[in-house]
């Protein structure tokens, strides 16, 4: 019998395995979205921020290595900064590493995620976005299209804890469904 070492943090999977990523990338290519800004998605993110009162909102598509915010709303004018591991004062930008943030969890879980204060959850408190940009609260939902594929997410974040509650959960789920319908209309060319 070989000795086994115990790792108390092994249950804290910071970035979940995403076995659907290759199929998602193929579906996003088919739709022509996920790797460039889309003005309609920027407008959607602006409206999402306005509805929730959050300072940051995103329409996020995730591949094997990165996240791409095809829709982005920030309180700052410049929305082109890339967020990476060596930028401790970075603001949310269009590209983010896959191991940053909470959307990778939403896409794998295929369910909305409400984190009123990320520091209340050891699994999420150690995420790089907490220290790099001061994210303290998150509200996100998956974009599940007509094929059953989780294409991406819609989310809002704040640098302060937020009592999103049941109303926040219902709002983000409703907004995700609305955006999926918009994507389907784009696909049909309507």
- Determine, yes or no, domain membership for 15: no
> Could you tell me the pLDDT band of residue 14, with boundaries at 50, 70 and 90?
low
Angle between helices 21-31 and 165-188 (to 10 degrees): 50
Share of the chain above pLDDT 70, in %: 84
For residue 30 the two structure tokens come to 């088919």
- Whether residue 10 is predicted with pLDDT greater than 90 in this model: the reply is no
Number of domains in the chain: 1
Q: What is the pLDDT of residues 149-164, one digit of tens each?
A: 999 999 999 999 999 9
Q: Are 169 and 155 in contact (CB under 8 A)?
A: no
pLDDT of residue 16: 86
Q: Which domain holds residue 80?
A: 21-188
- Determine, yes or no, domain membership for 8: no
- Whether residue 2 is predicted with pLDDT greater than 50 in this model: the reply is no
137-to-7, 44, 59, 105, 163 alpha-carbon distances in Å: 28, 20, 17, 15, 9
- Determine, yes or no, domain membership for 13: no
Say what the pTM is.
0.84
CATH number of the structural domain spanning residue 96:
3.30.450.40
- Determine, yes or no, domain membership for 39: yes
> Could you tell me the pLDDT band of residue 7, with boundaries at 50, 70 and 90?
very low
In angstroms, the CA 4 to CA 26 distance is 40
Average pLDDT in the chain = 86
In angstroms, the CA 35 to CA 67 distance is 9
Q: Are 16 and 123 in contact (CB under 8 A)?
A: no
pLDDT of residue 112: 98
Residue found under tokens 């009592």: 163
């Amino acid at each position: 019998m070989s000795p086994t070492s115990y790792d108390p943090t092994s249950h804290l999977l910071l970035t979940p395995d995403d076995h659907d990523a290759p199929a998602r990338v193929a579906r996003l290519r088919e739709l022509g979205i996920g790797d460039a800004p889309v003005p309609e998605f920027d407008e959607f993110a602006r409206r999402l921020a306005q509805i929730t009162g959050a300072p940051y909102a995103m329409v996020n598509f995730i591949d094997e290595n990165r996240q791409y915010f095809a829709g982005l709303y920030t309180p700052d004018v410049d929305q082109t900064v890339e967020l990476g591991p060596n930028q401790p004062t970075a603001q949310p930008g269009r590209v983010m590493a896959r191991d940053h943030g909470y959307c990778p969890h939403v896409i794998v879980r295929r369910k909305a995620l409400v984190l009123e204060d990320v520091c209340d959850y050891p699994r999420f408190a150690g995420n790089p976005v907490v220290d790099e940009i001061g994210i303290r609260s998150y509200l996100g939902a998956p974009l599940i299209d007509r094929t059953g594929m989780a294409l991406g997410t819609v989310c809002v974040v704040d640098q302060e804890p937020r009592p999103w509650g049941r109303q926040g959960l219902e709002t983000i789920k409703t907004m995700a469904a609305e955006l999926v319908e918009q994507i389907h209309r784009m696909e049909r060319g309507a």
